[in-house]
Amino acid sequence: MVGRVLVLVTILILAQTGSLNSHQESGEWSCDSKADIHIEAEFKPGRITLDGQVDDWKEIDGSAFSLLPALDPHSDKAYYGGKMTLKASHDGKEIFFMLQVEGDYTYSEGYNDKAASVAIMFQIGENASYHRMGGCEEGRDTCTNKTCKGHEVDLMHFSIGKAIPGRLYGGNPVDNSEGNGGDRFGHLVDLYGWNPHCRYLDGIGPSANDSSAQNDWKGTWWHSSLTHHSGFVKDDSPYSSSNQSGAYYFEFSRPLRTMDRLQQDAQFTIGRASKMSVAFWYPVDGKPWHGSGHFSISCHWIPLNILPDGSELTDVPKRSPWDTATAFSLLFSVVAFGISIFVGHRVSRTKNIAFTQMDNL
Ligand SMILES: *[C@@H]1O[C@H](CO)[C@@H](O)[C@H](O)[C@H]1NC(C)=O
Ligand SMILES: *[C@@H]1O[C@H](CO)[C@@H](O)[C@H](O)[C@H]1NC(C)=O
Ligand SMILES: *[C@@H]1O[C@H](CO)[C@@H](O)[C@H](O)[C@H]1NC(C)=O
Ligand SMILES: *[C@@H]1O[C@H](CO)[C@@H](O)[C@H](O)[C@H]1NC(C)=O
């Protein structure tokens, strides 16, 4: 009996080790990031309001990531403000993201490159790599949805240079009526791409435009140095307070599924994992940033697990068939089998014992 349990425990340990090994990255793009980290989007309906305030995220677990230069990921060049915290949740229809990062308040109205900016990237095509944003080998003149098929990535980019803190930006009736992923009010745009040189607003293409696309994102931002307020408008000039220390908060939402028909949006499925990463631009030392001068939370895709209702936090990552539940139920059935032999033995020895006395065992 003890021997059998030991064998089972050994099998369990071997199965667990096997699943950890299979998480490791391989390939030409190497960096020091942890390979086993992942984001959990738990089912938390009715919690999150997209208002830039993050108190409603308190009970949702997140992960903190160092921000390293995307093109040169070395820890001695990390963003001086520290780590970015990333949280996700969903309500069965929409998925929500919260990004929080320390940074002095800096804002020049109308100048995106003198303010903080964030982007989220998701894998769409099965052959889209993290490195080089999809990794299609074609140049700007030759990339098309045929030559780069399978390398599609989905992008959301929010530059706050025109966006009033606490107000909602992204998909709006004016831009959506033109059938593309633009946002003329706050520059929270919905894009897709095949590599860094082949990026387009949803609906816009290198050879043809398709006016069926939409900007499916909504989002807002806030800085902790701002005093809470019934609602800023442009004339309040919330931009003037300068260089105060604190943290930036970004909140975003998008439907789990969109009406995209062109492979320009990632589609999320409850109970499945997607792949994502986050980029951050900041005018370090007051110097305007440029497009490729961004920091990134990782140098490979990070799994994003969309958890079903009632799911345990760690259940979604794929395990070998010997998962914990199976092994434990086997362990219990062996123990139960042992007990039944023992009981049978006792019952057969003490003939007067009634069945009701089982409870006393
Ligand atoms: C991805 O690449 C593999 C191997 O090159 C290929 O067989 C497959 O068709 C590609 N997938 C897509 C969607 O293009
Ligand atoms: C697609 O739309 C963009 C932006 O509106 C425009 O600049 C471009 O010329 C259009 N392309 C075609 C092929 O119509
Ligand atoms: C490529 O895009 C064009 C224009 O949107 C569309 O008509 C065509 O069906 C697409 N082709 C593929 C292979 O997705
Ligand atoms: C804020 O910091 C920037 C860059 O360091 C500097 O140019 C600017 O003068 C500062 N503003 C104030 C009001 O201190």
**pLDDT tens digits for 173-213?**
999 999 999 999 999 999 999 999 999 999 999 988 998 89
What range does the domain containing 69 cover? 31-306
CA distance 91 to 50: 13
CA of 209 to the centre of ligand 2 (A): 6
- State the chain's mean pLDDT as an integer: 82
pLDDT band at 60 (very low <50, low <70, confident <90, very high): very high
User: Quick check: is 68 in a domain?
Assistant: yes
The answer to whether the CB of 203 is under 6 A from ligand 3 is no
User: Quick check: is 330 in a domain?
Assistant: no
pLDDT at 130: 95
What CATH number has the domain bearing residue 181? 2.60.40.1190
Pocket lined around ligand 1, Cβ cut-off 6 Å: 125-127, 149-150
User: Quick check: is 341 in a domain?
Assistant: no
pLDDT at 313: 52
User: Quick check: is 325 in a domain?
Assistant: no
How many CB atoms lie under 10 A from the CB of residue 317? 14
User: Quick check: is 343 in a domain?
Assistant: no
Q: Number of helices (H) and strands (E), helices first, in the chain? A: 3, 15
Exposure letters 58-73 (e unless 16+ CB within 10 A, then b): eebebbebbbbbbeeb
User: Quick check: is 338 in a domain?
Assistant: no
User: Quick check: is 74 in a domain?
Assistant: yes
How many CB atoms lie under 10 A from the CB of residue 211? 10
DSSP type of residue 288: P
User: Quick check: is 320 in a domain?
Assistant: no
Residue 236 scores a pLDDT above 90: no
Domain total for the chain? 1
CA distance 35 to 25: 6
CA of 142 to the centre of ligand 3 (A): 14
Please give the structure tokens belonging to residue 4.
């059998």
Amino acid at 239: Y
